[in-house]
Structure 1
Amino acid sequence: MAAPMLKDKGSLQFEDKWDSMRPTVLKLLRQEPVTRAEWQDLFWDVHSVCLWDDKGPGKVHKALQDDILEFIKQAQQRTLTHQDDTALLKAYIAEWRKFFTQCSYLPKPFGQLETSLAGKTVSSVQKKNSPEDSIVRKLMLDSWNQSIFSNIKQRLQDSAMKLVHSERMGEAFDSQLVIGVRESYVNLCSDPEDKLKIYKENFEAAYIEATEAFYKAQAPQYLADNGVQNYMKYADMKLKEEEQRAMRYLETRKGCDSVQKKSLHIGQIASQQFQLTECCVHVLVTAFKETILAECSVMIKRNETDKLLLMFQLLDRVPDGINPMLRDLEEHIKNQGLADMVAAAETITSDSEKYVEQLLSLFNIFSMLVKKAFSDDPRFLTSRDKAYKHVVNDTTVFRLELPSKQKGVAKTQPESKCPELLANYCDMLLRKTPLSKKLTSDEIDARLKDVLLVLKYVQNKDVFMRYHKAHLTRRLILDSSADSEKEENMVEWLREVGMPADYVNKLARMFQDIKVSEDLNSQFKEAIRDKGHGSIADCVNIKVLNAGAWARSSERVFVSLPMELEDYIPEVEEYYRKTHSGRKLQWHHLMSNGIITFKNKVGQYDLEVTTFQMAVLFSWNQRPLERIPLENLRLATELPDTELRRTLWSLVAFPKIKRQVLVYEPEAQSPKDFQEGTVFWVNQEFGLIKNGKLQKRGKINLIGRLQLSTERTREEDNEGIIQLRILRTQEAIVKIMKMRKRISNAQLQTELVEILKNMFIPSKKMIKEQIEWLIEHKYMRRDEDNINMFIYMA
């Protein structure tokens, strides 16, 4: 009989207690004042009912649900009395906010109820459950959702979207109404896995749909009425407006309640913002991409940087949207660059300074375009570099032929003459010239850095290095450098921009040789003076150069030297053998030069001449008035015919002087036109003219731009470039094969170009030829099952 008595007691317990508990619960729902005693009694009564009877928790939950539903029904009735959209929103938001506030307070006294229903101890519930997991809170939110929100959410949503539409049309309204509706969508969801489920499926989806519909209706008409350029401003403005509007009306971290702030993932926020932005970009930009892009090439040609920047900012939001812009920029730089070079061809082909200035001017113009129009975006800088590289390496205006006489090697494709002209320009800056004299030290440094900038885009840098080295050789031998410190700085700068170490090291060695030669000269002159030959020693300087660093041709041109020099040479060789045993000297007279005194009836002049010029002029030393035919000069000088003709031409047709040293007959248009019967004689009227006045004394440089090499050595230089490329290609292929052991033809070519690109780009024909050569010489072989696969042979 004990159990039934407890059951009756429990039943009485709940009925008695709920009657005393219910007024406080209703006060909390209505947000009416509750005394401390009522608050504490509610805690105790819930605790008592839930612990004294097994069915107590269920009865409390059911009774609480009934009261909540009744309260919500009354709130719905109060809300639906309003027919106007704005009034309805205001009423709903007011009711919702009051109810939602109580969702945080009402569950607190029912902690024991939640413990009993969950079958856990109070302590474990407090440790593991957060306020948002409250059963009472879930009951309140689910009841509101099912009873009122589900019935009128479409009206609420439609009303909110109408208000947003009004704002887009420029009408004023209370934005808090839309925010309030959004908050109810966000906070109503009690699903712990996805707190924003109701919001995303309803409010956010409706907002994005309404936005898309609005601009689908507005954008085409605006474009038709105002044109592309005004439309871009409109689209940019609207995108920014929608981003700001989304910050107000779509869910963001700021908009979450304190509980949701802890659980809402950043990725959810980002994705919501992204979806709206993507929608706006689609209807405002992507839909009209082709129309907008049609204006791009015209804007680039007109240098309309502000409009291009706006276009870039818009189309960069579209997947692959800027690719056509990149192509338009490349085409413009190629076409404009080549057009400017062709237009200035008459000037720049004969003046390396003008050529480099033209290239730098183009680079600065294109760089400024990319900076202003595309904010130096790396993708546009890459397009600029690709197109500018095409301009620099173009062969339309300048063409350098590098013929190969090697058997079995195909004739090379014409290359740009740019590297040669860059080397010439460096020579003008580093040599004693009117240009280097009028520039300050800092200006020369700046221009040399500009050359290195252009050099970065030169495809065949080995050609530049070959010519730069030839000019450096000339400057060091002729002592014509404007500043030795700058010469050495230039070598280090070449190292810094990635020139191969073996090239740069040879240049550095050349400076060392010159310094060593200076010391050797001093010691030798002292030794000669001791023998009583001081006069000739004071007039002659010997440069002893390392053949490996200077890499001159092995060809030695014989020439009959003046007697004083012929007698001096054995003494130099004897002294050098004593001080450096085991070393052999080879005399390169074609690289030598000197100063001779020229006298005639006009005056006395010092002439700076090459050794070949000196040998020719000394033919008249004992017979100054005689006319000597070409054949006799050949016998007297013992020079090869080609070099003799070239040397004579420099003495009868030197471009910088009005009165030539030698005169001749009959007339000739070039050195090749000299006949065996052509006679030459010393011009007794020769003199130096300055400012229209004949000078009786002076110094004249007749070396001019004569190369310190023969026609044959120039051919060998070109052949040397090709031969070195062949060796470099072979070396790189072997290096790759040794590392990879097995590699496909395509991969081999890719890696080979990557290795060699800092010096030159090997042609496919050259690569094929060298692969065949290496296969033939057993460095590698083809796979028997796949001819496009190569295998390394140790």
Structure 2
Amino acid sequence: MTQGDRSLNLNDVWMKVSEGIGNIYRIQEMSPAAYMDLYSHVYNYCTNTASQGSSPKATIKPGQKPGGNNRQNIHDGANIVGGELYNKLKNYLKAYLEKICEKGLDLEGEGVLRFYTTNWEHYRFSSKVTNGFCHYLNRHWVRREYDSGRRDVYEIFTMAMEIWQLVFFQPLNRQVTLACLQLIKAERQNEVINTRLISGVIQSYVELGFTENSSVPSSSSSHQITSPTLAVYKDYFEMPFLQDTEQFYRLEAATFLVHNSVTEYLKKVAQRLDEEVHRVQSYLHPSTLAALIKKVEEVLIRDQLEAIYAEAKALLHAEKHSDLALLFKLVSRVPNATVELKKIVEEHVRQMGIDAIERASGSALNDPKLYVETILEIHTKFFKLVQDAFSSEQGFTAALDKACGKFINNNAVTAAAGNTTKSPELLARYCDALLRKGSKAVEETDLEEKFNQIMVVFNYVEDKDVFQKFYGKMLAKRLVGQLSASDDYEESMISKLKQACGFEYTSKLQRMFQDIGVSKNLIDQYRTYCEKNRLDDIVDFSVMVLSSNSWPFSAPPNFVLPIELKRTFESFTKFYTQQHNGRKLTWLHQHSKGDVQTLYTKPKYILHVSTYQMVVLLLFNKLSSWTVEQMQDETQIKVDLFLQVLCGLLKSKLITCSEINDDELDEDLKETDIKMNYNIQISDDFKRSVYFANHSVRRF
């Protein structure tokens, strides 16, 4: 075939192809047969290799697909022609778009958007159809050209997109983008807009961001879809869109805050953020969301933090949890912005705690219940605040903890006491009040909850060793005096302390319990011992043997044990030392008590008294009258302690003193009022009410 024959063949093919392309780009209906005719013309042209000296190869008839034996006759890409046809297609599309573009150069607003999107949709659809019947050209000639090093050759659809970008997009993109931004601004101002116009433009900008590599037909696929890089979209739409967004919201923020409260402003910000998310979801590319939201957050939140922090203080005072929750949600969007908010919360809680304790300080200094429950009230209140307003976020929980630690350890009560150990002392006394028999502080069903609340306060106490000291002393008194409401409650409280501070912290407390349990078994063994050895003159008594290293007791000064008790004490000492060789017993008489019976009264009475009171009363088995000096000399109790015991017995009317009249007894009799030469007699007048703390009386 000569050069003229080839040209004639190309012209014939192009005449038929261009006619078909014209119909396609005019969106005229095309039958499947007409489409296959176009496919056949391109195929036959590309497989014509006569110009290279070869014999003519098989062709396919119009409307027939390559197949059967025909496919075996197709040579490899080296014999494929197509450059002339490719260039004619390119020039046709360029001329076609130039003619259409001229009609839109003077358009603006929605007019230019309709013009652009309508022509884009038609052009894109038509280019896909054209790409389809040029499949063979794409797969063989374009592929071969690319492999040989050409980078200005694309598959037909991508080539069509490149022409659109150069001929249609470049002249019109400024006015198209501006029209989109105007519509978005109108929508932000609550106007109803045609979002399909914007989404059509966005689709066009995205698809125009093709790359060379993504535009080469794959040898293994029939059609290669382009992979957009978003470069066109980012440069020509997203960048001006974000700039426009910043300007719009900066002006809105300034204007809105002049006429509205910060709380209303925050509600507006939340609304705007939701709107922008919806905007992206509706008609922008998803990749814009992060940059858009960041920009809105910077303008509406970050740049207004000073006013927002001031509002946070007001909302805390007003206890508006829901408004604080919104404020926190928005501030959390800005990196590191919650740091200052946490400081504000911490200082507010600290000051509220200081103020609450100061209001109660007049009574709380000597009222453990009032003091601890005031603390708990503040903690409970702001614990709920952290839950409701700040979603228990770790940083705000830590702020609450810091604030509580500050006002619990340094407040009006600790200042009045002159030390920071007052808080652990009052907390220990509060525990003692709850755990004692007859406590009216709380119902039994609520006691475990009270223990949990105690641990809340305990965890904030800095001087935990001081708490341990006071708690240990009070526990010892409860156990020795058999004043505990329940061993189970005692063990529960110790278990919670152990969980908080470890085994070593509670080891002495647990040893106290062990001693009480061992003592119960020991007294049973002693009674068996007495029966076995026929010790009939032993006073019925119980004893607690306590480890000296675990109990907060010190040995009392010596005194003369009455003959009535001496035999029993000696008997038990012998029994114990036989079982525990090498151990030494030290009697803690200051913590002992017992019953004595009056044989000289009618009716008779059982007096429940301390050991020291018992020693004094038993003197009257020898003489009916003593001087104070004689009694002290006989008992050898230290003078100051002896006078305390004597004062209590006189006030209770168990003994009388001729030198002290009833009026003095009814008033506040002091130890210093009792002289050593005063005469003391036993009293048989029990008609008056007897209710003093160190003894009790019951009729017998």
Scaled by the length of structure 2, the TM-score of the pair is 0.83
- Out of 475, 481, 492, which is 2:495 matched to? 492
2:81–2:141 Cα contact (<8 Å) kept: no
Looking at structure 2, the residues matched to 297 and 651 of structure 1 have their Cα atoms a distance apart, in angstroms, of 61
Aligned residue number for residue 524 of structure 1 = 526
- Out of 101, 108, 113, which is 2:137 matched to? 113
Aligned residue number for residue 296 of structure 1 = 312
- What SS is found at the alignment partner of 1:93? helix
Looking at structure 2, the residues matched to 223 and 602 of structure 1 have their Cα atoms a distance apart, in angstroms, of 90
Cα distance change of structure 1 residues 661 and 570 upon mapping to structure 2, 3 Å threshold: same
Looking at structure 2, the residues matched to 179 and 511 of structure 1 have their Cα atoms a distance apart, in angstroms, of 79
2:626–2:680 Cα contact (<8 Å) kept: yes
2:620–2:682 Cα contact (<8 Å) kept: no
- Out of 360, 378, 383, which is 2:394 matched to? 378
Bigger drift between 40-49 and 479-488 goes to 40-49
Aligned residue number for residue 97 of structure 2 = 72
Task: Provide Cα deviations, 1:684-730, integer angstroms capped at 9, x if missing partner.
Answer: 48758xxxxx45xx8865179xxxxxxxxxxxxxxxxxxxxxxxxxx
Bigger drift between 158-167 and 31-40 goes to 31-40
Task: Provide Cα deviations, 1:93-142, integer angstroms capped at 9, x if missing partner.
Answer: 121122223444432333332333455599x9xxxxxxxx9622221111
2:109–2:182 Cα contact (<8 Å) kept: no
Give 1:750-761 correspondences, 5 Å limit.
none
Aligned residue number for residue 577 of structure 1 = 577
Task: Provide Cα deviations, 1:253-278, integer angstroms capped at 9, x if missing partner.
Answer: xxxxxxxxxxxxxxxx2xx3222122
Aligned residue number for residue 36 of structure 1 = 32
Task: Provide Cα deviations, 1:582-629, integer angstroms capped at 9, x if missing partner.
Answer: 443333333333233457869655444333343344444534543414
* Structure of larger gyration radius: 2
Structure 2 unaligned regions, length at least 5: 50-78, 148-152, 215-226
Looking at structure 1, the residues matched to 635 and 270 of structure 2 have their Cα atoms a distance apart, in angstroms, of 81
- What SS is found at the alignment partner of 2:516? helix
1:601–1:685 Cα contact (<8 Å) kept: yes
Cα distance change of structure 1 residues 471 and 24 upon mapping to structure 2, 3 Å threshold: same
Give 1:453-492 correspondences, 5 Å limit.
453-492=456-495
Q: CA deviation at 1:188?
A: 1.6
Looking at structure 2, the residues matched to 145 and 348 of structure 1 have their Cα atoms a distance apart, in angstroms, of 82
- Out of 23, 27, 38, which is 2:23 matched to? 27
Looking at structure 1, the residues matched to 230 and 304 of structure 2 have their Cα atoms a distance apart, in angstroms, of 34
Aligned residue number for residue 615 of structure 2 = 615
- What SS is found at the alignment partner of 1:88? helix
Give 1:196-595 correspondences, 5 Å limit.
196-252=230-286, 269=287, 272-394=288-410, 396-398=412-414, 414-435=419-440, 439-496=442-499, 498-534=500-536, 536-537=538-539, 539-550=540-551, 552-553=553-554, 555-595=555-595
Give 1:160-175 correspondences, 5 Å limit.
160-175=180-195
Looking at structure 1, the residues matched to 266 and 528 of structure 2 have their Cα atoms a distance apart, in angstroms, of 83
Aligned residue number for residue 90 of structure 1 = 114
Looking at structure 1, the residues matched to 603 and 424 of structure 2 have their Cα atoms a distance apart, in angstroms, of 44
1:605–1:699 Cα contact (<8 Å) kept: no
Looking at structure 2, the residues matched to 139 and 232 of structure 1 have their Cα atoms a distance apart, in angstroms, of 50
Looking at structure 1, the residues matched to 621 and 481 of structure 2 have their Cα atoms a distance apart, in angstroms, of 24
Looking at structure 2, the residues matched to 51 and 204 of structure 1 have their Cα atoms a distance apart, in angstroms, of 46
- Out of 176, 180, 183, which is 2:196 matched to? 176
Looking at structure 2, the residues matched to 32 and 685 of structure 1 have their Cα atoms a distance apart, in angstroms, of 131
Cα distance change of structure 1 residues 557 and 102 upon mapping to structure 2, 3 Å threshold: farther
1:293–1:325 Cα contact (<8 Å) kept: yes
2:365–2:371 Cα contact (<8 Å) kept: yes
Cα distance change of structure 1 residues 542 and 27 upon mapping to structure 2, 3 Å threshold: same
Looking at structure 2, the residues matched to 662 and 47 of structure 1 have their Cα atoms a distance apart, in angstroms, of 136
Give the partner amino acid of 1:417.
K
Q: CA deviation at 1:190?
A: 0.8
Looking at structure 2, the residues matched to 598 and 510 of structure 1 have their Cα atoms a distance apart, in angstroms, of 35
Task: Provide Cα deviations, 1:287-338, integer angstroms capped at 9, x if missing partner.
Answer: 3322332233233223233333333233233333333332222222222211
Give the partner amino acid of 1:702.
N
- What SS is found at the alignment partner of 1:242? helix
Cα distance change of structure 1 residues 424 and 686 upon mapping to structure 2, 3 Å threshold: farther
2:694 corresponds to 1:702: yes
Task: Provide Cα deviations, 1:317-369, integer angstroms capped at 9, x if missing partner.
Answer: 33333333322222222222112112211222222122211111111122233
2:607–2:695 Cα contact (<8 Å) kept: no
Looking at structure 2, the residues matched to 463 and 624 of structure 1 have their Cα atoms a distance apart, in angstroms, of 48
Q: CA deviation at 1:10?
A: 4.1
Looking at structure 2, the residues matched to 49 and 671 of structure 1 have their Cα atoms a distance apart, in angstroms, of 131
2:80–2:140 Cα contact (<8 Å) kept: no
Bigger drift between 101-110 and 664-673 goes to 664-673
- What SS is found at the alignment partner of 2:596? strand
1:246–1:273 Cα contact (<8 Å) kept: yes
Cα distance change of structure 1 residues 400 and 515 upon mapping to structure 2, 3 Å threshold: farther
Cα distance change of structure 1 residues 97 and 328 upon mapping to structure 2, 3 Å threshold: same
Q: RMSD in angstroms over aligned alpha carbons?
A: 3.4
2:142–2:154 Cα contact (<8 Å) kept: no
Cα distance change of structure 1 residues 72 and 52 upon mapping to structure 2, 3 Å threshold: same
Q: CA deviation at 1:147?
A: 0.5
Give the partner amino acid of 1:238.
R
Looking at structure 2, the residues matched to 678 and 41 of structure 1 have their Cα atoms a distance apart, in angstroms, of 143
Give the partner amino acid of 1:639.
I
Bigger drift between 447-456 and 573-582 goes to 573-582
Give the partner amino acid of 1:216.
R
- What SS is found at the alignment partner of 1:480? coil
- What SS is found at the alignment partner of 1:536? coil
Aligned residue number for residue 57 of structure 2 = none
Task: Provide Cα deviations, 1:385-431, integer angstroms capped at 9, x if missing partner.
Answer: 10111111115313699xxxxxxxxxxx9323121211111111111
Give the partner amino acid of 1:541.
S
Cα distance change of structure 1 residues 569 and 24 upon mapping to structure 2, 3 Å threshold: same
Bigger drift between 610-619 and 674-683 goes to 674-683
- What SS is found at the alignment partner of 2:501? coil
1:352–1:425 Cα contact (<8 Å) kept: yes
Give the partner amino acid of 1:353.
K
Looking at structure 2, the residues matched to 670 and 30 of structure 1 have their Cα atoms a distance apart, in angstroms, of 121
Give the partner amino acid of 1:591.
H
Q: CA deviation at 1:576?
A: 2.0
1:559–1:612 Cα contact (<8 Å) kept: no
Aligned residue number for residue 634 of structure 2 = 636
Q: CA deviation at 1:566?
A: 1.7
Task: Provide Cα deviations, 1:122-175, integer angstroms capped at 9, x if missing partner.
Answer: 9x9xxxxxxxx9622221111111111111111111111111111122222212
1:560–1:638 Cα contact (<8 Å) kept: yes
Looking at structure 1, the residues matched to 228 and 644 of structure 2 have their Cα atoms a distance apart, in angstroms, of 91
Cα distance change of structure 1 residues 569 and 177 upon mapping to structure 2, 3 Å threshold: same
Looking at structure 2, the residues matched to 415 and 703 of structure 1 have their Cα atoms a distance apart, in angstroms, of 36
- Out of 156, 166, 190, which is 1:146 matched to? 166
Cα distance change of structure 1 residues 366 and 593 upon mapping to structure 2, 3 Å threshold: same
